[in-house]
Structure 1
Amino acid sequence: MRAPGSYSESVNFEGLTCSAAAAIDVPLPGSATKVGAWLCVEQPGAWGRDVIGDEVLGPEITPELAARTAAAQVRPTLIRRPGRNEFTGARTVLIANSRPEGNWCERFEITDLKQLLDIDLHLLNGPPPGIGARVTDPVILVCAHGKRDQCCALLGRPIAANLAAEYPDQVWECSHTGGHRFAPALVLLPSGLTYGRVDTESATAAVEAIRRGALALPGFRGRSGHKPIEQVAEIAVREQVPAALADLTVRLETGFTTTDPTVAGAALVTHRDGRRWRVTVRTVSFAPRQASCGAAAKPAAALVADPVQPLA
């Protein structure tokens, strides 16, 4: 591993988009936003900068729904079909739980946004509540939130359109998922598998892999149901050990201590066949660059795994 801060100190990031600046040397593992439960609401047309904002859902709904999603620890997400589609008045709503074990997704329709307030959002953190029809095919969310960052719209929309030609009922453009500097960004529900810097080929490979119970590593940032250290640890092991999607469980190592200030923690990875590994994860610094397009440069950092340690 290179010394912290040695990756790109001679690179001039001026004039680059945030995704181009991050792609020079910032690694993807550990960058998936930690999300355990999702509320995805169809909202055709333009979106504001905020996912839940008066300009999108209106002043009657916005404050109450924002408070309820925060209290229930549910990620609000706007979705729309790729391309220009006529709005019929019925909105698709997807609710999902993306925990690593026992994840699920349900789908239903509403005709009035006020119906969102009838949902007990705390149920999304448990087993399937039976509010809607069970979704068995992977839901494909491609970030295309241009008001949040131009990279998501410019890079994400073509990917969404191409995927929609192959999986017409499974693909949605979505609002900010976290990490627009890794655009084009893709999230698969209900697994929570999060990808970045995808093209149509790698995005399709990710979808096809999960359909057969596997996991594609190119562009994989981590599972949204895992903490960042756990995300890095899983990827580090998968890079060395062939494993199906459900073969590995990952847990932070409790009681782990170190005097090394760069070490962020450690995780234990267990294969269903009994093999185990410890992965120590440290923070690595990178040369300052913009985290969003048009923003001022600031120090960048990422999590990097030390060599994987097999355990008896």
Structure 2
Amino acid sequence: MPDFRCSIASLVDDEPMAGTAPTDAEMLLVESPGPWGRDAVSDNRLPEAVREHLGSVEMKVLLLRRPDGSAGPGTHVFHARATEAGFDVRATVLDRPEDLLRLDLAEMAAYDGPLWLVCTNGKRDRCCAEVGRPIAGRLAETWPEATWETTHLGGHRFSGTLLGLPSGITLGRLDTDTAVEACTAVGRGEVPLPWTRGRAGRPALDQARELHVLAGGDPADELVAVAGPPRRQSCGDDKVKGTTRFEVRETEPVGG
């Protein structure tokens, strides 16, 4: 199936997005201009010692680059840690990428602005490149400093997809117009339900529960994970994998 596009197949099948945001509670974001390989953390143009360091840290690592291909001055680094409200984000600009080896995360300065991280790694999945790159370029027109292309967020089949910080709101099935609308809403503190996959940094069930309530569901409802149909989840390989969706558990009527 050379023309298979996982994002189109997922949309046609009306696959639910709720509960599919990254669950990682801590992330390190490192500027790395230029091309990325399928395993971007090990296949990039950063110095070898930096690549080895990033491969050894005990947190999710995302690489960043500007949509217009520009770089610097310096190497931008962000550290994001999940909190009750979203993420605490810290930032610094290093003189050289090698300075990352000696970076003390605790000494990084608080970062108060938004970050829009658009998944665009075409070597991992072509939907991310084909759909994500135009979105990143469009967002950069409005938020030039806040917008970055990024590596694997997970959920290629929901392209275009992005992670918004500090909220943690993860969006999917975006295009160039809806991306601006959705990010504007997130910037106002809203959760744009038609495009929201969940709030990153939380377990999948908690993500789905929040969206259920925001959509008007009863907070007392019990949500459970159920097996969805197996499906091909990526353009990058033809493996068929199981899926999960979240549904309200039906309660037995009193008396049987």
With normalisation by structure 2, the TM-score equals 0.88
Change (3 A) 1:307 1:206: farther
Amino acid at match of 2:68: G
Secondary structure, counterpart of 1:158 in structure 2 = helix
Q: Please tell me whether residue 231 in structure 1 is matched to residue 207 in structure 2.
A: yes
**Counterpart in the other structure of 2:52:** 63
1:97 deviation in Å? 1.8
How far does residue 120 in structure 1 lie from its aligned partner after superposition?
4.2
Q: After the TM superposition, list the runs of 4 or more consecutive aligned residues in structure 1 that deviate by more than 4 angstroms.
A: none
Residue 113 and residue 209 in structure 1: after superposition, are their counterparts in 2 closer, same or farther (change >3 A)? same
CA offset at residue 294 of structure 1? Answer: 4.5
Instruction: Give the distance between the partners of 1:299 and 1:48, measured in 2 at CA.
Output: 23
The answer to whether residue 187 in structure 2 is matched with residue 211 in structure 1 is yes
Structure 1 Cα separation of the partners of residues 247 and 10 of structure 2: 19
> 1:278 and 2:254 equivalent?
no
Which one-letter code corresponds to 2:237 in the other structure? Answer: A
Q: Is the 8 A contact 1:145 1:176 kept in 2?
A: yes
Of the three residues 92, 97, 105, the one matched with 1:113 is 97
Pair 61,137 (structure 1): closer, same or farther in 2 beyond 3 Å? closer
Measure how far apart 1:280 and its partner are.
Answer: 1.9
Once the two structures are overlaid, the 10-residue window that deviates more, 291-300 or 151-160, is: 291-300
**TM-score, normalising length: structure 1:** 0.73
Alignment of 1:246-285 (within 5 A): 276-285=219-228
Percent identity (aligned): 35
Measure, in 2, the Cα distance between the counterparts of 1:195 and 1:281. 22
Q: Return closer, same or farther for 1:303/1:31 CA change in 2, 3 Å cut-off.
A: same
Number of corresponding residues: 250
SS in 2 for 1:82: coil
- Correspondence for 2:235 among 276, 286, 293: 293
Q: Which has the larger radius of gyration?
A: 1
Using the TM superposition, give the Cα deviation of residue 238 of structure 1 relative to its aligned residue in structure 2, in angstroms. Answer: 0.7
1:100: Cα distance to partner? 3.2
Do structure 1's residue 40 and structure 2's residue 29 form an aligned pair? Answer: yes
Q: Is 1:131 aligned to 2:116, yes or no?
A: no
Across the aligned residues of Structure 1 and Structure 2, the Cα RMSD in angstroms comes to 2.3
Q: Mean Cα displacement is larger for which, 225-234 or 102-111?
A: 102-111
Deviation at 1:209, TM superposition (A): 1.9
Gaps in structure 2 of 5+ consecutive residues: 252-256
Deviations 1:237-266 (A, max 9, x none): 11106xxxxxxxxxxxxxxxxxxxxxxxxx
3-state SS of the aligned residue for 1:173? strand
User: Given residue 155 of structure 2, which amino acid in structure 1 is its aligned partner?
Assistant: G
Deviations 1:122-157 (A, max 9, x none): xxxxxxx4412x322211000111111111111000
